[in-house]
Chain A
Amino acid sequence: MPSTRSHPARVLPGFSLSLGCALVYLSLLVLLPLSGLGFKASHLSFYEFWEMATGERALASYRITFGASLLAALINAVFGLIVAWVLVRYSFPGKRLIDALVDLPFALPTAVAGITLATLYSSNGWIGRYAESFGVKVAFTPLGIVVALTFIGLPFVVRTLQPVIEDIEPEVEEAAASLGASRLQTFVRVVFPGLFPALLTGFTLAFSRSIGEYGSVIFIAGNMPLISEITPLLIISKLEQYDVVGATALAVVMLLISFALLLAVNTLQWWAANRHHGNTRPSTGGKP
């Protein structure tokens, strides 16, 4: 979560009780299925596992999954920041409508999104037609995957940033201006450092959502092995051939890479959020 504020008054009764609850809940929902995965994979010898997890097709699918997700999350970080900023700072007719539109990728069934995007970007679609005349093919290429992942990732960045931008007092920008800072200096030195932890959180959420995305991608990707085949699809196709063990091996690899990446980003985010507060932060917070 973006907020790292600690409240002195505890709402939930009893630290040990609530911690226990949290752990049981997490175990049932997350740890148990994951350890089942690990258990299944442990039937394989390491050599077999390595063979399955590093096949040519598997490696290509990792590359496309993580590469496209990273690119999509980066695009969303930039444009999501702009959207969030505009939605918080300016008032214009239709603002509420646009604000509601942001959530659409959350609610829309991913398959519907995938089919819609595929139709739009195919060589005779509304957008694809013009893209093609510039020699850019979007649908049924890795680029199509990036488009689909950008679509589903947008609300994560916007919704994470909005409350944080609301929390920045406009006075801080005025203070910077009265001290002689230009707009760029104000953004780079004053506004952005305050947004960075939240931006990182939004980026992480969008990124992790993209890694696991299946529905919207398969319709637009074309799913050509070695070129535009994502790992989740590879797992499904292995399952369809009753190759449960092979699917498990791929799943374990995805799990490990995702976990390592998320841990790294979270550590970075924790560092960015905490370096300015020391450990003696009074409960008064930033605003009186």
Chain B
Amino acid sequence: MSIEIRSLGKRFGNFVALQDINLDIPGGELVALLGPSGCGKTTLLRIIAGMESADTGQVLFAGEEATHLHARERNVGFVFQHYALFRHMSVFENVAFGLRVKARKLRPVESEIRRRVDALLKLVQLDWLADRYPSQLSGGQRQRIALARALAVEPKVLLLDEPFGALDTKVRKELRRWLRRLHDEMHISSVFVTHDQEEALEVADRVVVMNHGRIEQIGSPDEVYSNPASPFVYQFLGNVNVFHSRLHGAWADVERSVPERATSSEAMAFVRPHDIEIEHRPVSGSLQATVQEVHAIGPLVRVELAHGSELIEVELTRDRAAALTLAKGQQVWLKPRQIKVFAAPSGSLEEGGSGI
């Protein structure tokens, strides 16, 4: 089922939580709301779920007005960061809850409830835990039960608020792949909130990047990563080196290809650490720098270099680092493979061009 959000606004006292949010989520998509804490992503999710009411704007489910519908009438599955399982109920009863509270004429008979709960527990691969209580489960198991509970009422929309936020890295990776598979099997629309860019880029069909109660960019994971619409998106999605163009004469060549308005005013250039090439001798448009630190981190080698008073981070593959044999204090020349320039005036997010 599709979800449409039209010029939504929400304030808490003087704090503007959401401002003029417009978003279309087509049926069957898995969408990530990505942003730093306090950016309004959870508030937006809670408004979609009907747990919070918007000050202005509309929420439409499948084209129908749902703005003032109570949470219990929205038929939305909600998964909380801290699971919110019913502590005094067994796993089975937790999952059965949504079926048991249905009005008498809609409620399935006991044998049907049993069959459906068993099927859901099999789906989340925890049928052997049916008689346990939530306090006896691990975090990952609890979250899978919470998901099974949300799915029991056959929701048209599944909303997840930082679903893997409280879990350790390994379980988190496992669960997000599993969520992706589950989403594809269930044919529902899912929206999940996260502050983890890796999680959003890996799992979602589309990523909505938010900041200060506004949407910064909507796009596929590849789009938002390789073609960020604003300095914020650039900085939020992965590491980045920021150059204030006037200071870096050697790279000025690069920026001449940029439209006049960017170079004439203060401009900022963004380069990802893995988009910088290190050379032993100067090439055209390269920047001189001194090697400060070399760290081997897993499959990558991270090199910290100083250009004047500024620190530049470069990531190399192990092979490349071995070929370069970098040493502390060595003079090298840096050449960006890909660079993106934004006009710097505060607040304005005008886009410059990109190129080599």
Contact = CB atoms under 8 A, between A and B. Distances in A.
Given A193-B88, A194-B88, A178 B49 contact: yes
Interface in B59-96: 70-72, 74-78, 80, 82, 84-89
Kindly name the residue among A175, A179, A284 whose own CB sees the greatest number of chain B CB atoms within 10 A: A179
A178 B159 CA distance: 10
Contacts of B82: 169, 171, 287-288
Residue among A174, A175, A189 facing the most chain B CB atoms (10 A cut-off): A175
Contacts of B100: 189
A43 interface: no
A277 interface: yes
Contacts of B101: 176, 179-182, 185, 189
Interface in A172-192: 172, 174-182, 185, 189-190
A280 B138 CA distance: 12
A190 B75 CA distance: 19
B98 interface: yes
A7 interface: no
A285 interface: yes
A13 interface: no
Contacts of A96: none
B61 to A, nearest CB: 14
B72 A181 contact: yes
Contacts of B146: 175
Contacts of B84: 169, 171-172, 174-175
B166 interface: yes
A177 B51 contact: yes
A288 B135 contact: no
B149 interface: yes
B80 A175 contact: yes
B225 interface: no
Nearest to B134: A286
A288 B136 contact: no
A3 to B, nearest CB: 13
A171 B71 CA distance: 13
Contacts of B150: 178-179
Interface majority SS (helix, strand, loop, mixed), chain B: loop
Contact of A286 (B70, B102, B135): B135
A250 to B, nearest CB: 42
Given A178-B71, A182-B101, A286-B87, A278 B78 contact: no
Contacts of A189: 86, 97, 100-101
A190 B51 contact: no
B130 interface: no
Contact of B78 (A178, A182, A286, A288): A178
A276 B71 contact: no
Interface residues of A, number: 28
B78 A174 contact: yes
Interface in B268-320: none
A91 to B, nearest CB: 13
Nearest to B167: A288
Contacts of A178: 49-51, 71-72, 74, 76-78, 150
A178 B80 CA distance: 11
Contact of B72 (A182, A277, A284): A182
Given A172-B84, A175-B80, A194-B88, A180 B72 contact: yes
Contacts of A286: 87, 134-135
A281 interface: yes
Contacts of A14: none
A276 B135 contact: yes
Q: Which residue of B51, B75, B85, B101 has the most chain A CB atoms within 10 A of its CB atom?
A: B101
B139 interface: yes
A281 B97 contact: no
B181 interface: no
Interface string A139-154: 0000000000000000
Interface in A242-288: 276-278, 280-282, 284-288
25 contacts: A172-B85, A174-B51, A174-B78, A174-B80, A175-B85, A175-B146, A178-B49, A178-B51, A178-B77, A178-B78, A178-B150, A179-B149, A180-B72, A181-B98, A181-B101, A189-B100, A193-B88, A194-B87, A276-B135, A277-B133, A278-B132, A282-B136, A284-B135, A286-B135, A287-B82
Interface of B: 49-51, 70-72, 74-78, 80, 82, 84-89, 97-98, 100-102, 132-136, 139, 146, 149-150, 152-153, 166
Nearest 7 CB-CB pairings of A with B = A179-B98, A171-B84, A181-B101, A178-B78, A175-B84, A193-B88, A177-B71
